[in-house]
Amino acid sequence: MDLEKICELQRDPRAVAISQQQLAALRSFLGDGYGIKPGIDTDFELSKIADDAEFSEMIMRLWDIQESRTSPIPGHRERGDQEFYELIAMQPFLGIMHSHKWSFIFDVAAYMQALCELLAVRGLIADIGCHVGYHSTWLVESSAASVVGIDRCSAAIHFAESTRFAREVPHGKLEFRCQKDLKGIPAGTVDIVMSSDGGVDWTTKCLRTVVPLLHEDGVVAWFGDMPDRDQIIPAAERAGLHLLHADVIGGWTGHHFEPKAVLLAGKRPVGQAIKDPISFSERIWDDGFRKFCNSGENPRDKQTLAHYRSVKIEIDGSRASIDL
């Protein structure tokens, strides 16, 4: 793994672009394997299957769980989250519920594929909070890495292990574990610890739990809602990490526009020190992404950072530096 390549990413966010052909393959992978597609109307799709007696009771349970997830009582919220993720790991809910975050799921997969290529990752990726394993399985399919996916939901892990994609992976390249902790992963063996949408909170407490897994050049790749500006760097530093890069992914979900944050942190500093992560990550808007979305030339389901970076690379023909 070549951590020094992070410098290329700091100079130009387009260093994590993959080709249009690779994006098309990813789109098919998510759609055919998991039913995750852009533009699905969640309420409409759920109302259609609610007429089926086999699923109507499950849908009523889903609405009840959603209410408990907003409870002001922490214990209720935690139990609600557990039940929610167990339920949406089951057919027929999987594609419907996950499609609500299609652009996020799609862009995380594309970003991680490109990051593995850029850093020449050949070792182990730990996907914390992998749920049904689409990111874990895609990374084994699209990179030279091995992956262990960890999630506390038994139904999600069962689904992850049962997919055709997972069954066809060479032995030893992909493993799924149902557990609430990180026991069983030897210290200092992981190239990338990835967390997509809640597997690891960007807090000192949570980051400290994953740091021991990383080898000296290992990286935490975190995707989610941007943390408080004043806490991004302190939380990392107190956990023994250096912020290496801040970025943005996502875009049009099919119903609204929703960019998300990317934070990369390592055990040793590389390249320039990131002093204002939010401003650093927002460079991409002025680099042309705003125009890309508003030009009227690109379909809404392709108005994501992954598509934009891919198009820019194909037009420019190289990953030339942008003006910072």
Q: What is the pLDDT of residue 112?
A: 98
Q: Is 212 a residue whose pLDDT tops 80? A: yes
DSSP string, 77-129: HHHHHHHHHHHTTSTTHHHHHHHTTHHHHHHHHHHHHHHHHHTT--SEEEEET
Q: What is the pLDDT of residue 76?
A: 74
Q: Is 125 a residue whose pLDDT tops 80? A: yes
Q: Across residues 47-70, what is the average pLDDT? A: 81
Task: State the pTM of this model.
Answer: 0.93
* Residue of 80 and 236 predicted with greater confidence: 236
Fold exhibited by the domain 3-35+101-316: Rossmann fold (3.40.50)
Q: What is the pLDDT of residue 106?
A: 97
Q: Is 165 a residue whose pLDDT tops 80? A: yes
Q: What is the pLDDT of residue 70?
A: 76
Q: Say which range, 64-78, 153-167, 256-270, has the weakest mean pLDDT.
A: 64-78
pLDDT above 70 as % of the chain:
97
Q: Is 38 a residue whose pLDDT tops 60? A: yes
- DSSP class of residue 300? G
User: Distance between CA 271 and CA 189 in Å, rounded?
Assistant: 23
Q: Where are the domains of the chain?
A: 3-35+101-316, 42-98
Q: What is the pLDDT of residue 322?
A: 32
Q: Is 318 a residue whose pLDDT tops 80? A: no
Q: Across residues 175-204, what is the average pLDDT? A: 94
Q: What is the pLDDT of residue 288?
A: 85
Q: Across residues 218-244, what is the average pLDDT? A: 96
Q: What is the pLDDT of residue 321?
A: 33
Q: Across residues 5-26, what is the average pLDDT? A: 94
Q: What is the pLDDT of residue 320?
A: 38
Residue ranges of the alpha helices (H) in the chain? 6-11, 20-34, 42-49, 53-68, 74-87, 93-99, 102-118, 134-142, 154-162, 164-167, 204-210, 232-238, 277-281, 283-284, 290-294, 305-316
Q: What is the pLDDT of residue 274?
A: 93
For 18, residues 6+ apart whose C-beta sits below 8 A from its C-beta are 26, 110, 113, 114, 117, 306, 310
Q: What is the pLDDT of residue 317?
A: 58
Q: Across residues 104-108, what is the average pLDDT? A: 97
User: Distance between CA 170 and CA 43 in Å, rounded?
Assistant: 38
- Average per-residue pLDDT for the chain: 90
Q: What is the pLDDT of residue 315?
A: 66
Query: 310: burial class by Cβ within 10 Å (0-12, 13-18, 19+)?
Result: buried
